[in-house]
Amino acid sequence: MPSWISTLSCLLETDARAVLVTVAATRGSAPRAAGAHMVVTAAQVQGSVGGGRLEQRAIGIARELLVADAPSPRLERFALGASLGQCCGGVVVLAFERVGPAQREWVGRAATLAAAGRAWGRRIFIDGPHAGAVAVFDRESVGHTCTDPALSAHARDLLAAGEDTALLLFMLGCRSDASRDRADEGATAPGSAAPPAPSAGSRLASLLQEDLAAPRRSDASRDRADEGATAPGSTATPAPGAGSRLASLLQEDLAAPRRSDASRDRADGSATAPGSAAALGTAILLDASPPPALQVVMFGAGHVGRALAELFGRLPLRVRWVDARAQEFPPALAPNVEPHCTDTPTAEVRAAPAGAVFLVLTHSHALDFELVEAILARDDFRFCGLIGSQTKRARFAHRLHARGIEEARIARLRCPVGLPGLPGKEAEVIALAIAAEVMRLRPQAHPPSTPRRPAAGAPATQPTESGHET
């Protein structure tokens, strides 16, 4: 499966221009999670942000950006209801970025990290004086790129997600490090044992996710908690109740019909006093692309192995495909499938990373047994699947027990491998069943992805309303 960053890199080699569309945030039911990408050129589309009318509208907006002198990046908000011809009922915020020769530096760095199999991410300023600026980071450089502690913590979480993901944040009080330090030093009275309060940006970024992960409270209980969060006249950073208030207002705004600027200003003015720490600053998109969480080591390039390699090439997996017969590998393979010809396949078992998914599909029962024995000797594999029948499994289990393999290890052998219930013995059907069972091992963790609506008076950061139901 070609990655979106490799697609952009190839386009820039020919000075072509494109628009990168990213699912920046979602709320409720949505067809794709935050972090999904789509690359749109004048003639082609690679990737998907959800299909249907949503994707048609996104492609149309992207192609307008290719020829129009409109601000980039920009946010578009879509309500997935009847007016958009979709019935999901949720909300999706898409980010649109023009990509051309001027973006070659960050695209090149990102493509290099991706090609090396390293987790990487981007920090994108959506608005403000640095709107459109992109910085690429990996685990080693994230602290240097994201100097705000909360922003850095979010970025590290995204890098560890195991799949493409994104988080849209509206940072409070985006000030220089020096001014932040001065404010933090004055937030706690001298001699107090309490640690200095974090910057306003840090406070919102961290509380936002905590509140969205917690059960929703009633308006009355939210108000009581928020009113007691900060003493009247205090200049200290609001306590967690204030963050909860901001997060709940965020959810209400995304779920409710769009209001006029004037009514929004009146409502916002009653929720947060002017000049308080809840005045919003810069909109930032964190966008991470870690290597796929699942690494498959597949033995056997027979008819089932070849059918699986074609399927796996379209899925978010890393695959090392092992066989002693070089002529059995097809001439062209997807970038995420790496063929390896060797006469010592058991060495590949020993060299595989911890957490690997092993699939044993060779043409030889004797080789199958040798590989299974080597796999079960490890303590750190994720899955061991063997092609065959219940009879083959019983025979292997008997031989493994005779060689002193513990019953608990033998129990981890999955044979016949493949999700049960699919009728047919064709290679493609067997491959589909195996691929389905492998994909069930994929982690499903996603960070909260709902954005905070920007403060009134900053229309450049406010997502444009698209497809909103009236």
Q: What is the pLDDT of residue 252?
A: 36
Q: Can you tell me which residue has the tokens 């590998």? A: 329
Share of the chain above pLDDT 70, in %: 69
In this model, does residue 225 exceed pLDDT 60?
no
| Highest-confidence segment of 136-140, 250-254, 450-454 | 136-140
Across 359-398, b (16+ Cβ under 10 Å) vs e yields bbbbeeeebbbbbbbbbbeeeebbbbbbbbeeebbeebbe
Cα distance between residue 91 and residue 26, in whole Å: 6
Q: Is the pLDDT of residue 83 over 60?
A: yes
pLDDT digits (tens, 9 = 90+) for 295-316: 999 999 999 999 999 999 989 8
> H-type helices in 78-235, by residue range?
104-115, 142-145, 149-159, 177-185, 200-213, 219-227
pTM above 0.85, yes or no: no
Return mean pLDDT, the chain.
75
Say yes or no to pLDDT of 188 above 70: no
**pLDDT at 82 exceeding the cut of 90:** no
Asked if pLDDT for residue 283 goes beyond 50, the answer is yes
- Strand order from edge to edge, sheet including 337-341: 337-341, 318-323, 295-299, 357-360, 383-386, 413-414
More confident residue, 442 or 221: 442
**What homologous superfamily does CATH list for 295-439?**
NAD(P)-binding Rossmann-like Domain (3.40.50.720)
Domain ranges for the chain: 1-117, 119-186+196-229+236-291, 295-439
Is the per-residue pLDDT at 294 higher than 50?
Answer: yes
How far apart are the C-alpha atoms of 325 and 367, rounded to whole Å?
14
Mean pLDDT of 464-468: 43
Local confidence band at 291 (pLDDT 50, 70, 90 cut-offs): confident
Confirm if 350 and 18 have CB atoms less than 8 A apart. no
What was the pLDDT predicted at 290?
87
Would the pLDDT of 236 be above 80?
A: no
Decide: helix, strand or coil at residue 441: coil
The strands making up 134-138's β-sheet, listed across from edge to edge, are: 134-138, 120-125, 280-289, 165-172
Reply yes or no on whether the pLDDT at 98 is more than 60. yes
Q: Is the pLDDT assigned to residue 183 strictly greater than 70?
A: no
